[in-house]
Amino acid sequence: MTNHSAYIAGLGFYVPDRVLTNRELEKMVETSDEWIRTRTGISERRIAEKGVGTSELASRAALAALKQAGVSPNDVDLIIAATTTPDMPLPSCACFIQQKIGAKNAAAFDLAAACAGFVYALVTAEQFIRAGVYKNILVIGADVISPYIDWTERSTCILFGDGAGAALLKPASGKSGILSSVLGSDGQYADLLTIPCGGSRRPATHGSVAENGHTLKMSGSEVFKLAVRGMSEAVIEALSRAKVKKSDVACFIPHQANQRIIDAVADRLELPAEKIFVNLQKYGNTSAASCAIALCEAVEQGKIKKGDKVVLATFGSGLVWGALVMEW
């Protein structure tokens, strides 16, 4: 039994080429670029081509993370794919990723924690590393959510986009790595954000299609309030567990769902705008990929340097939430 923390040795992300702008949405539903930007902060999002599954985006992100870490697919011990939009109900998305990247020596499974999936998967991977079971773990947050969007429903279709982000985790030798984490969920709010049909309770039938039961339904303002509370409290608890002061946080990577949620959380945490990384204007809410893509871009843009304290916070359907403190 070892007790190594885990650190991120490589990151990568991938988004589809197709850009869907607010102006295009104006032609599809009764909305305006101005409303979307002021109420959410989003200007555009990426949409996967028809027939492209989550494993395709995830594999590209995974290969980029492996390249950055200098790890060959053969040396990956475990693939954890955080997704709620797997290519198909069986087999797991993680197995399709394994097939695509050729990680033939890995174990592989999916983890369903909606938008909080990347943080849940990082924390899960960290446990295997702390226990000394695995040395190279590929953690991927990926969703192709666009096929589940009702493109006639203006309060949801403006929010989401497709994408994937990946991290290669290894045992940490020095101080750097995951310092603390908090995961939470409250199933009493399970009905606030759902895709009601297509599962075992209500499988696909002509009726389920006719009633539009395979698209995402959300009580937006309730989710909004719970997101602010859930993320703020999780970050405060994670910082306390890591014995890190709010003022010592160099970069805060929140779930990229709505600029107003991010502002409200930042306000509660008393974090100045320059410490908060936001890229939702370009991608919207990419669900499990959101924090992963944001972390990747924050590093690429030099917003995170060695030794920095970095905080991730996520929130999603379940309701579930998670926060994680790392030293980079």
Q: List contacts with ligand UT7 (CB under 6 A).
A: 31, 35-36, 39-40, 115, 154-155, 158, 218, 220-221, 223-224, 227, 257-258, 261, 285, 315-316
The one catalytic residue among 22, 136, 258, 285: 285
Q: CA 47: distance to chain centroid?
A: 16
In the structure encoding, which two tokens stand for residue 182, read together?
């908090």
In the structure encoding, which two tokens stand for residue 308, read together?
């920095």
In what helix (H) or strand (E) does residue 46 lie, and over which residues does it extend? strand 44-46
Q: For the CB of residue 308, give the shortest distance to ligand UT7 in the complex, in Å.
A: 26
CB nearer ligand UT7, residue 165 or residue 316: 316
Q: CA 125: distance to chain centroid?
A: 15
CB nearer ligand UT7, residue 177 or residue 316: 316
CB nearer ligand UT7, residue 59 or residue 286: 286
Q: For the CB of residue 220, give the shortest distance to ligand UT7 in the complex, in Å.
A: 3
Q: For the CB of residue 163, give the shortest distance to ligand UT7 in the complex, in Å.
A: 13
CB nearer ligand UT7, residue 73 or residue 318: 318
Instruction: Decide if 206 is catalytic.
Output: no
Instruction: Decide if 115 is catalytic.
Output: yes
Q: For the CB of residue 118, give the shortest distance to ligand UT7 in the complex, in Å.
A: 12
Chain residue at closest Cβ approach to ligand UT7: 220
The one catalytic residue among 93, 95, 115, 291: 115
The one catalytic residue among 136, 251, 255, 296: 255
The set of long-range contacts for 294-303, using a CB threshold of 8 Å and a minimum separation of 24, is: 294/165, 294/253, 294/254, 294/256, 295/8, 295/11, 295/165, 295/167, 295/253, 296/11, 296/12, 296/13, 296/165, 297/13, 298/251, 298/253, 299/11, 303/251, 303/277
Q: In what order do the strands lie in the sheet with 177-185?
A: 177-185, 320-327, 309-316, 249-254
Q: For the CB of residue 245, give the shortest distance to ligand UT7 in the complex, in Å.
A: 28
- Cα distances (Å, whole numbers) of residue 328 to 7, 8, 114, 122, 269: 8, 8, 26, 15, 21
CB nearer ligand UT7, residue 85 or residue 136: 85
What is the three-class DSSP state of 142?
Answer: strand
CB nearer ligand UT7, residue 174 or residue 187: 187
Q: Where are the beta strands (DSSP E) in 118-269?
A: 137-143, 163-171, 177-185, 193-194, 217-218, 249-254
Q: For the CB of residue 185, give the shortest distance to ligand UT7 in the complex, in Å.
A: 14
In what helix (H) or strand (E) does residue 320 lie, and over which residues does it extend? strand 320-327
Amino acid letter, 228: V
- Block residue for tokens 């006639």: 152
Q: Tell me which residues are annotated as active site.
A: 115, 255, 285
